[in-house]
């Protein structure tokens, strides 16, 4: 290996888990790092993460779980939209990452024997989530923050905190060679040279106005790279978390760990003469007074296998649908998340952090009273488009599997098409039934419509990597030596963590984000070092200063323009309208016409944005300026989110279109790729194959498993599921479901 | 049947969610008085703004001081009708876990995001006053420069000296009791409340004097946290050297203000006592080893 030249350095933008893991990895290899962050890195958004981090572990392994299962679950949860080699690699690394955090001193909860405790999380029937109270993100962040401080003390890391990234810089070969950034105290704009730039700037929650994200999660940094020519992948895949508490300034998350630890979701309801659930006449009354038979545990009833821990998109749509049908608590948009049957000690030890949040912000004690929650925008599966190199055995094995699976897929696709037509028809029938009920139609008429519904056909199962080669580790993930892992289409510009589009596909499983962020930093940090060492281009340090000066000038003039503009439009008002519009058109339920309408709204907002006035035109510590500038970039990023949603005429994971129900693998088992068109200021959408050579795209169905003995509380009523049609994809393919076993509760947590 | 999110404003309408039940239910207007400055000691002034609070049924959950500052930012006009500028302050998580938004509210140091107006200004016309912390240099308005706190963390080597990020197996085992003690200490979010409340912690603007100025309760507690970890303890000596020196544990006058204001209820006085004992033992050892 070549030793780094004295002048070579790497820029990392963002000091969340992904940015810090990258910083540590790169600094450790002897390469100096300049680390930029809007806020002191210790205060980055990652500290908000509550529930935990997934990894195969000793106990789960003895119950039949493995890294392979983790990989498979992640694909299944994501509706197969992921490139498979990176997911495979991440799952293999997960246990090592937990060990590393353990060595760094993260106080993971312990069993009485001193082992790391585990909890259940969405989309898995195994306990494979490691946690540190209900502030896991904070604890992991602090461990990395401490290691970064250590390297900083040793002079290997330079921190630029309260500096805002404004744009990436490229040399005349198109290779990234630095950034332009602004000091948010002095407002000085400066260029920095770097032989590689890692973007680790997190998600874009604020594009949707209120979300569970921190205030700096505007997505502006990603948008600036996008506008500078970086591609953006799967923009339309936005995760709405089922359980948040609304607030005037943000939606505060009540972690999935609440359900993982046994929390149950229900609404007050009563059964009518035919045994159908009907809204409760007194649904606003003290929940403690409502008897069990008047509580509808709708998730447990509709998804007997996974119950309350179905993946987020499903839980969210169900809660949404339930409120829509008038079942919401007190007739409003809320349902109960109930922990009150659990012991106080256990709740304080395992969920203390979130219980405290609920107490502080709602003023009630979840130990005593069920919590009132509603879905909130949470996470972006989409992000900057990145590449990678598969490991050496991947091509060979994938080829073999594709030869077996392609003919199966060819037979399945027409069936899927017919099934989707059935889904769509059944959906329309449901609407007619609802109308009929509203108009007081007779039960006979309703029954007739019910009977006209058709059942989708079963699909043929696929052959997977495990069927051919077992579940042991194989070199079919990412190539650890390749310099391009998680590099964007701009050479030398990388994207790590939530800001890239890898690993999670159509929906992210809970507790997989902390993993993917850290994994990116550690695994792909090495790729960055390799890129810089092998760098065939002119070192950034010897490039002419004109490249850097031009970047600074451009940003200075943008700032000047903003400060001097006096059109009277208010950036706060524009951001608010953007948030409401995006939440309405591009979250839980989407339709073509509604998305079209959003494009018009974006036109209007763009136009108004060009006429904003700032209420602070000073050149010192001007947060108003920084915010107003971000609003423009948020609009630019909203564009591909809407256009991607419009172009994707199917439903997959958290992208759910009532005008195109069902997954359409023939057209859309593909990555959405958005490119910014600088001449129009709009984005262009195209589709690209996903690398899926290891596991075939079986139908995603969480209502059944082969041998389900999961630890979910037993449903309180075994209603005919037909009475309460699932809003998720009911294309039931039991044959493809995995062999899952109940995890034993060998762990005891003492307090 | 859902056809679109905004058929019923479903996605955006969350009115009626509990808003910490204590306040009155009607709409009201409160006053927020803010101590502003262009930079430390420069153009220091008080400005007062009105903030309208919707009635309980119209609210989207709890309203905190940050929501008031956001409302002011979108239309910064003072009570006497003068157009002003948005107030500068730090914020991040908005759920009291990042430590950004510490300020002095009605004379008490705390996080603005977890400060609900119904508790602080329950009646129409009530006043909330906001001031920056006084122990740190003001950057602008309510934003202060807490870099001294982060520097002090480096001075006590607040990290576990691991052998790099390689795959080297698990960390040391610990009992649930040890874990619970360490966990509590580990929740310190470097917010600075304990420093603001401490009579021994005084404003220091000169960065070159940070090293000899009091490190404060948070940092002493962090030193204890790392000394408690098996691998962390290998640097115990260096940590105790720092705490035995100028700006170390001797500066603490034991007034116990710190523990009363810590939002994470970290047992700071316990940490101070524990580290006090360690430092004493350390000194005796050093003395007998003839150093
Ligand atoms: C409430 C909540 C709970 C969660 N719980 C879990 C969980 O239990 N398990 C799990 O796996 N995941 C969880 N997640 C998801 C997970 O926390 C995030 O996906 C993850 O922390 C993102 O980390 P990151 O490093 O990519 O970015 P972030 O932590 O968001 O960091 C972004 C960094 O970029 C910097 N930055 C941004 N823009 C700029 C700019 N223009 N210039 C300079 N710097 C910039 C910021 O200052 C910050 O340092 C949760 C998310 C939320 C919101
Ligand atoms: S006990 Fe010590 S650190 Fe705490 S407030 Fe008193 S003097 Fe300060
Ligand atoms: S010890 Fe408590 S008050 Fe002091 S900085 Fe930490 S969290 Fe804040
Ligand atoms: S904003 Fe994070 S503590 Fe208040």
Quick one: pLDDT at residue B15? Answer: 62
Q: Are residues A588 and A569 in the same domain?
A: yes
Residue A485 lies in a domain: no
- Does residue A27 or residue A274 have the better pLDDT? A27
- Note whether A623 contacts B164, CB cutoff 8 Å: no
Q: Please enumerate in sequence order all residues whose Cβ is within 8 A of that of A441, keeping only pairs 6 or more positions apart, or say none.
A: none
Residue A589 has pLDDT above 50, yes or no: yes
Nearest Cβ partner for A330 among B16, B83, B143: B16
Q: Are residues A273 and A370 in the same domain?
A: yes
Indicate the residue among A340, A374, A408 that finishes a domain.
A374
Residue A49 has pLDDT above 60, yes or no: yes
Using a 10 angstrom Cβ sphere, with 0-12 exposed, 13-18 middle and 19 or more buried, the burial of residue B103 is: buried
**A63 alpha carbon – ligand 1 mean position (Å):** 33
Q: Which residues of A touch B2 (CB under 8 A)?
A: 320-321, 324, 588-589, 658, 727
Q: Are residues A359 and A434 in the same domain?
A: no
Quick one: pLDDT at residue B10? Answer: 60
- Note whether B170 contacts A102, CB cutoff 8 Å: yes
Residue positions of A annotated with a catalytic role: 312
Q: Measured between alpha carbons, how far is B9 from B60 in angstroms, rounded to an integer? A: 13
**A18 alpha carbon – ligand 1 mean position (Å):** 8
| Tokens 């040793």, located at residue | A154
Q: What is the pLDDT of residues A403-436, one digit of tens each?
A: 999 999 999 999 999 999 999 999 999 989 988 8
- Note whether A246 contacts B70, CB cutoff 8 Å: no
**Phi/psi zone of residue A78: left (φ > 0), alpha (ψ -120 to 50 degrees), beta?**
alpha
Q: Which residues of B touch A615 (CB under 8 A)?
A: 73, 75-76, 83-86
Question: DSSP 3-state assignment of A47?
Answer: helix
Ligand at minimal distance from the CA of B218 is: 3
Residue A1 lies in a domain: no
- Note whether A138 contacts B157, CB cutoff 8 Å: no
Residue A85 lies in a domain: no
Residue A669 has pLDDT above 80, yes or no: yes
Residue B75 forms contact with A (CB below 8 Å): yes
Alpha carbon nearest to ligand 1 atom 52, residue: A49
Q: What is the pLDDT of residues A135-170, one digit of tens each?
A: 999 999 999 999 999 999 999 999 999 999 999 999
Q: What is the pLDDT of residues A374-411, one digit of tens each?
A: 999 999 999 999 999 999 999 999 999 999 999 999 99
**B264 alpha carbon – ligand 3 mean position (Å):** 7
Quick one: pLDDT at residue B41? Answer: 96
Lowest mean pLDDT across A86-100, A143-157, A594-608, A610-624: A610-624
Contact B187 CB / ligand 4 (< 6 Å): no
Q: Are residues A574 and A629 in the same domain?
A: yes
Confidence of residue A5 (pLDDT cuts 50, 70, 90): low
- Note whether A43 contacts B3, CB cutoff 8 Å: no
- Average pLDDT rounded to a whole number, residues A690-696: 96
- Note whether B22 contacts A363, CB cutoff 8 Å: yes
Confidence of residue A223 (pLDDT cuts 50, 70, 90): very high
As a whole number, the mean pLDDT across chain A is: 90
Ligand 4 closest atom vs CA B101: 4
- Average pLDDT rounded to a whole number, residues B101-126: 95
Confidence of residue B146 (pLDDT cuts 50, 70, 90): very high
Q: A622, A473 in Cβ contact below 8 A?
A: no
CATH of domain B146-289: 1.10.1060.10
Quick one: pLDDT at residue A1? Answer: 36
Q: Tokens representing B68?
A: 């008031």
Q: Are residues A638 and A719 in the same domain?
A: no
Q: Measured between alpha carbons, how far is A751 from B255 in angstroms, rounded to an integer? A: 30
Q: A171, A542 in Cβ contact below 8 A?
A: no
Nearest Cβ partner for A583 among B11, B114, B161: B11
Q: Cα dihedral sign for A652, A656, A662, A664?
A: negative
Residue B11 has pLDDT above 80, yes or no: no
Encode A503-522: b = buried (16+ Cβ within 10 Å), e = exposed.
bbbbbbbbbbbbbbbbbbbb
Alpha carbon nearest to ligand 3 atom 5, residue: B190
Q: Are residues A683 and A563 in the same domain?
A: yes
Residue A586 lies in a domain: yes
Q: A181, A165 in Cβ contact below 8 A?
A: yes
Q: B215, B156 in Cβ contact below 8 A?
A: yes
Which residues span the domain enclosing A728? 394-472+695-739
Confidence of residue A42 (pLDDT cuts 50, 70, 90): very high
Q: Tokens representing A186?
A: 């002095």
ipTM comes to 0.94
Ligand 1 closest atom vs CA A17: 25
- Average pLDDT rounded to a whole number, residues A37-43: 98
Ligand at minimal distance from the CA of A134 is: 1
Q: What is the pLDDT of residues B49-63, one digit of tens each?
A: 999 998 877 777 789
Using a 10 angstrom Cβ sphere, with 0-12 exposed, 13-18 middle and 19 or more buried, the burial of residue A633 is: buried
Q: Measured between alpha carbons, how far is A81 from A325 in angstroms, rounded to an integer? A: 31
Residue length, chain A? 751
Q: Which residues of A touch B182 (CB under 8 A)?
A: 105, 107
DSSP letter assigned to residue B142: T
Residue B266 has pLDDT above 60, yes or no: yes
Indicate the residue among A342, A374, A406 that finishes a domain.
A374
Q: Are residues A274 and A294 in the same domain?
A: yes
| Tokens 């089922």, located at residue | A242
Q: Are residues A399 and A365 in the same domain?
A: no
Quick one: pLDDT at residue B245? Answer: 94
Residue A286 has pLDDT above 60, yes or no: yes
Contact B96 CB / ligand 4 (< 6 Å): yes
Contact A511 CB / ligand 1 (< 6 Å): yes
- Note whether B5 contacts A583, CB cutoff 8 Å: yes
Report domain B28-143's class.
alpha beta
The CATH number given to whatever domain includes residue A595 is 1.20.58.100
Q: Which residues of B touch A103 (CB under 8 A)?
A: 160, 162, 168-171, 231
Q: Which residues of B touch A434 (CB under 8 A)?
A: 1
Q: Are residues A247 and A323 in the same domain?
A: yes
What is the nearest CA distance from A365 to chain B, expressed in angstroms?
11
Quick one: pLDDT at residue A73? Answer: 96
Domain ranges of chain B: 28-143, 146-289
Residue A350 lies in a domain: yes
Residue A225 lies in a domain: no
Q: Measured between alpha carbons, how far is B18 from A329 in angstroms, rounded to an integer? A: 11
Q: Measured between alpha carbons, how far is A111 from A747 in angstroms, rounded to an integer? A: 6
**A146 alpha carbon – ligand 1 mean position (Å):** 17
Q: What is the pLDDT of residues B268-284, one digit of tens each?
A: 999 999 999 999 999 99
- Does residue A715 or residue A458 have the better pLDDT? A458
Q: What is the pLDDT of residues A634-653, one digit of tens each?
A: 999 999 999 999 999 999 99
Q: Are residues A556 and A655 in the same domain?
A: yes
Residue B192 forms contact with A (CB below 8 Å): no
Residue A708 has pLDDT above 80, yes or no: no
Residue A585 lies in a domain: yes
Question: How many domains are there within chain A?
Answer: 3
Residue A143 lies in a domain: no
Confidence of residue A538 (pLDDT cuts 50, 70, 90): confident
Residue A732 has pLDDT above 80, yes or no: no
| Cα–Cα nearest to B130, from B104, B94, B109 | B104
Q: Tell me the CB-side half-sphere exposure of residue A11, using CA atoms within 13 A.
A: 29
- Average pLDDT rounded to a whole number, residues A653-672: 96
Q: Are residues A641 and A702 in the same domain?
A: no
| Cα–Cα nearest to A491, from A82, A169, A90 | A169
Quick one: pLDDT at residue B60? Answer: 76
Q: What is the pLDDT of residues A349-370, one digit of tens each?
A: 889 888 999 998 988 999 999 9
Q: Measured between alpha carbons, how far is A79 from A627 in angstroms, rounded to an integer? A: 36
The CATH number given to whatever domain includes residue A291 is 3.90.700.10
Q: Please enumerate in sequence order all residues whose Cβ is within 8 A of that of B268, keeping only pairs 6 or more positions apart, or say none.
A: B194, B217, B218, B220, B221, B258, B259, B262
Q: Tokens representing A11?
A: 């820029």
Q: Measured between alpha carbons, how far is A76 from A274 in angstroms, rounded to an integer? A: 36
- Does residue A723 or residue A336 have the better pLDDT? A336
- Average pLDDT rounded to a whole number, residues B71-89: 95
Q: Are residues A285 and A405 in the same domain?
A: no
């Amino acid at each position: 290996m070549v030793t780094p030249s004295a002048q070579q350095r790497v820029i990392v933008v963002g000091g969340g888990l992904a940015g810090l893991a990258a910083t540590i990895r790169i600094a450790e290899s002897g390469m100096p790092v300049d680390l930029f962050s809007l806020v002191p890195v210790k205060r980055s958004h990652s500290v908000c993460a509550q529930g935990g981090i997934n990894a195969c572990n000793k106990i789960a392994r003895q119950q039949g779980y493995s890294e392979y299962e983790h990989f498979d679950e992640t694909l299944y949860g994501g509706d197969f939209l992921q490139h498979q080699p990176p997911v495979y690699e991440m799952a293999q690394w997960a246990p090592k990452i937990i060990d590393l955090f353990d060595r760094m001193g993260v106080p993971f909860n312990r069993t009485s024997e001193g082992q790391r405790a585990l909890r259940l999380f969405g989309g898995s029937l195994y306990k494979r989530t490691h946690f540190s109270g209900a502030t896991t993100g904070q604890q992991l962040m602090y461990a990395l923050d401490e290691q970064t401080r250590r390297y900083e003390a040793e002079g290997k890391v330079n921190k630029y905190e309260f500096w805002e990234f404004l744009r990436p810089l490229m040399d005349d070969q198109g290779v990234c060679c630095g950034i332009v950034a602004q000091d948010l105290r002095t407002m000085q704009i400066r260029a920095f040279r770097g032989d590689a730039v890692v973007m680790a700037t997190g998600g874009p929650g604020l594009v949707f106005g209120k979300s569970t994200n921190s205030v700096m999660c505007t997505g502006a940094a990603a948008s600036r790279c996008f506008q500078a020519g970086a591609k953006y992948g799967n923009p339309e895949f936005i995760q709405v978390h089922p359980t948040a508490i609304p607030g005037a300034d943000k939606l505060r998350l009540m972690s999935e760990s609440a359900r993982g630890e046994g929390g149950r979701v229900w609404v007050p309801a009563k059964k009518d003469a035919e045994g159908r659930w009907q809204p409760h006449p007194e649904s606003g009354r003290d929940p403690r007074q409502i008897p069990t038979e008047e509580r509808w545990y709708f998730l447990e009833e509709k998804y007997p296998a996974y119950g309350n821990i179905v993946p987020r998109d499903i839980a969210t749509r169900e809660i949404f649908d339930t409120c829509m049908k008038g079942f919401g608590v007190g007739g409003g948009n809320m349902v109960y998340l109930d922990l009150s049957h659990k012991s106080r000690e256990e709740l304080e030890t395992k969920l203390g952090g979130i219980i405290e949040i609920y107490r502080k912000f709602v003023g009630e004690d979840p130990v005593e009273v069920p919590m009132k929650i509603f879905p909130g925008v949470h996470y972006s599966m989409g992000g900057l488009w990145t590449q990678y190199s598969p490991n050496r055995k991947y091509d060979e094995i994938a080829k073999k599997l594709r030869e077996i699976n392609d003919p199966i897929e060819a037979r399945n696709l027409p069936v899927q098409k017919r099934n989707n037509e059935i889904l769509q028809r059944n959906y329309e029938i449901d609407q007619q039934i609802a109308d009929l009920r509203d108009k007081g139609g007779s039960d006979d008429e309703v029954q007739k419509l019910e009977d006209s519904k058709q059942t989708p056909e079963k699909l043929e199962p696929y052959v997977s990597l495990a069927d051919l080669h077992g579940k042991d580790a194989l070199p079919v993930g990412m190539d650890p030596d390749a310099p391009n892992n998680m590099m964007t289409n701009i050479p030398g510009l990388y994207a790590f963590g939530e800001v890239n589009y890898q690993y999670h596909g159509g929906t992210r499983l809970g507790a997989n984000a902390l993993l993917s962020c850290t994994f990116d930093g550690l695994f792909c940090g090495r790729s960055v070092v390799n890129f810089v060492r092998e760098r065939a281009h002119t070192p950034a340090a010897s490039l002419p200063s004109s490249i850097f000066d031009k970047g600074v000038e451009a940003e200075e003039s943008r700032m000047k323009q903003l400060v001097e503009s006096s059109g009277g439009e208010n950036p706060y008002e524009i951001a608010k309208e953007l948030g409401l519009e995006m939440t309405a058109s591009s979250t839980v339920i989407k339709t073509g016409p509604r998305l079209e309408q959003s494009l018009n709204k974006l036109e209007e907002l763009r136009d108004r944005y060009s006429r904003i006035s700032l209420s602070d035109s000073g050149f010192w510590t001007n947060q108003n300026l920084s915010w107003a500038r971000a609003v423009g970039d948020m609009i630019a990023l909203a564009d591909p989110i809407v256009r991607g949603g419009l172009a994707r005429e199917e439903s997959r994971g958290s992208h759910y279109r009532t005008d195109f129900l069902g997954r359409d693998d023939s057209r859309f088992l593909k990555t959405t790729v958005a490119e910014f068109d600088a001449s129009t200021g709009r984005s262009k959408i195209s589709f690209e194959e996903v690398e899926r050579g290891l596991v075939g795209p079986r139908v995603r169905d969480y209502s059944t498993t082969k041998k389900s003995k999961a630890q979910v509380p037993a449903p309180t009523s075994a209603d005919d599921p037909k009475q309460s049609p699932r809003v998720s994809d009911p294309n039931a393919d039991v044959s493809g479901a995995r062999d899952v076993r109940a995890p034993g509760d060998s762990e005891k947590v003492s307090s | 049947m859902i056809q679109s999110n905004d058929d019923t404003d479903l996605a955006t309408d969350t009115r009626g969610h509990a808003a910490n039940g204590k306040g009155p239910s009607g709409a009201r207007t409160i006053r927020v008085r803010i101590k502003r400055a262009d930079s430390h000691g420069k153009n220091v002034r008080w400005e007062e703004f009105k903030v309208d609070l919707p009635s309980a049924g119209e609210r989207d959950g709890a309203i905190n001081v940050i929501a008031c500052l956001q409302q002011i930012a979108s239309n910064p006009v003072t009570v006497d009708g003068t157009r002003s500028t948005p107030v500068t302050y730090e914020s991040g998580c908005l759920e009291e876990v990042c430590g950004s938004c510490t300020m002095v509210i009605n004379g008490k140091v705390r996080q603005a995001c977890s400060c609900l107006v119904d508790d602080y200004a329950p009646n129409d016309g009530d006043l909330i006053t906001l001031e920056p912390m006084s122990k740190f240099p003001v950057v602008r308005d309510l934003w202060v420069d807490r870099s001294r706190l982060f520097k002090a963390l480096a001075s006590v080597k607040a990290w576990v000296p691991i052998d790099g990020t390689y795959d080297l197996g698990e960390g040391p085992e610990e009992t649930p009791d040890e874990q619970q003690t360490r966990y509590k200490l580990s929740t310190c979010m470097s917010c600075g409340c304990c420093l603001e409340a401490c009579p021994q912690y005084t404003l220091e603007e000169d960065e070159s004097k940070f090293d000899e100025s009091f490190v404060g309760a948070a940092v002493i507690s962090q030193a204890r946290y790392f000394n408690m970890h098996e691998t962390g303890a290998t640097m115990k000596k260096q940590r105790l050297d720092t705490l035995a020196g100028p700006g170390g544990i001797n500066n603490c006058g034991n007034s116990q203000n710190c523990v009363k204001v810590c939002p994470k209820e970290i047992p700071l006085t316990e940490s101070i006592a524990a580290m006090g004992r360690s430092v004493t033992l350390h000194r005796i050892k050093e003395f007998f080893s003839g150093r």
